[in-house]
């Protein structure tokens, strides 16, 4: 504020001092700003500072192996070691399984067989249930949990034929009952439609006769009124 009070625009010295101050301010503003050091330079400088601070280090050379068991021990991996397979029988025969080749060659049931396999085309499970046999049903065959003779198999085959014949007879009876019930239903439906048509025709005839009677009554009433009016007129003239 003192310089502003002492500044005289008409004084050339004051003008010269002002120009000098402005030139110095512009020079300081246009001077380049130093950029920050790069990260690599920073790290190198920090490493140099730590080296200067810590100093050199002594590193001992690796010791030679002593040849003991602990040095020869292999490195433990993350995978589990493989296990040996369970020893299998060289001639495996499951319990109750009859060798089919031996059965075909000998022409009979093997002595070590404990069940009998029969096709369902020959014997069905219902025949075995009637014979109180223990069995297991499959899609194409049944397995009886004991050895059956040829006579027993033939007996179950005969029982199966009788069961299938009875089932076919029941199916035919059921189809006949269904067909008769359907025919009866169709007959009742036709009779009901015929009755409804007849009732509609009778109702139509009744309505037509009723309208005809009403028209006749109206005509008779009009004719009677006309005759009475004519009589009154003739009486007045007389």
Q: What is the pLDDT of residues 40-49, one digit of tens each?
A: 555 555 555 5
From CA 7, how far away is CA 18, in angstroms rounded?
9
Q: Are strands 141-144 and 116-119 parallel, antiparallel or unpaired?
A: antiparallel
Q: What pLDDT, on the 0 to 100 scale, is given for residue 217? A: 78
Q: What pLDDT, on the 0 to 100 scale, is given for residue 187? A: 82
pLDDT in tens, 89-140: 666 555 555 555 554 555 555 556 578 889 999 999 999 998 888 888 888 8
Pair of tokens at residue 108: 């009979």
pLDDT in tens, 141-200: 999 888 888 899 999 999 999 999 999 999 998 998 888 888 888 888 877 777 776 666
Q: Do 109 and 147 form a contact (C-beta atoms < 8 A)?
A: yes
95 phi, psi to nearest 5 deg: -70, 125
Q: Residue 93: which residues within 8 A CB-CB, separation 6 or more?
A: 99, 112
From CA 114, how far away is CA 140, in angstroms rounded?
20
Pair of tokens at residue 42: 């920073």
Better-scored residue on pLDDT, 8 or 146: 146
Determine which of 85-89, 210-214, 234-238 has the lowest per-residue pLDDT on average.
234-238
Q: What pLDDT, on the 0 to 100 scale, is given for residue 24? A: 81
Q: What is the DSSP string of 40-56?
A: HHHHHHHHHHHHHHH--
Number of other residues whose CB lies within 10 A of the CB of residue 110: 15
Better-scored residue on pLDDT, 224 or 171: 171
Q: What pLDDT, on the 0 to 100 scale, is given for residue 1? A: 41
Structural Rg of the chain based on CA atoms: 63
Better-scored residue on pLDDT, 18 or 61: 18
pLDDT at 32 over 50: yes
Q: Residue 15: which residues within 8 A CB-CB, separation 6 or more?
A: 9
Q: What pLDDT, on the 0 to 100 scale, is given for residue 34? A: 58
Question: Which H/E stretch holds residue 136?
Answer: strand 135-137
Pair of tokens at residue 92: 């495996």
The distance from CA 130 to its chain's CA centroid, rounded to whole angstroms, is: 43
pLDDT in tens, 62-73: 666 655 555 567
Better-scored residue on pLDDT, 20 or 4: 20
In a 3-state reduction of DSSP, which class is residue 156? helix
């Amino acid at each position: 504020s003192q310089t502003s009070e002492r500044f005289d625009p008409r004084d050339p010295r004051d003008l010269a001092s002002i120009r000098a101050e402005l030139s110095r301010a512009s020079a300081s503003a246009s001077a380049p700003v130093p950029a920050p050091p790069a990260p690599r330079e920073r790290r190198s400088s920090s490493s140099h500072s730590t080296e200067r601070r810590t100093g050199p280090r002594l590193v001992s050379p690796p010791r030679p192996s002593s040849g003991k068991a602990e040095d020869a021990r292999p490195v433990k991996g993350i995978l589990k070691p493989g296990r040996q397979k369970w020893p299998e029988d060289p001639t495996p025969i499951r319990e109750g399984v009859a060798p089919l080749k031996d059965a075909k060659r000998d022409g009979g049931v093997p002595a070590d067989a404990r069940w009998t396999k029969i096709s369902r085309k020959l014997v069905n499970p219902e025949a075995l249930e009637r014979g109180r046999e223990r069995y297991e049903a499959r899609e194409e065959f049944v397995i009886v949990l004991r050895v059956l003779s040829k006579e027993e198999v033939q007996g179950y085959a005969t029982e199966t034929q009788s069961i299938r014949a009875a089932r076919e007879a029941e199916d035919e009876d059921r189809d006949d009952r269904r067909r008769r019930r359907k025919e009866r239903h169709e007959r009742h439906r036709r009779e009901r439609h015929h009755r409804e048509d007849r009732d509609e025709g009778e109702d139509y005839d009744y309505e037509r006769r009723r309208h005809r009677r009403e028209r006749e009554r109206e005509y008779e009433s009009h004719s009677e009124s006309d005759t009475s009016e004519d009589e009154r007129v003739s009486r007045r003239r007389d």
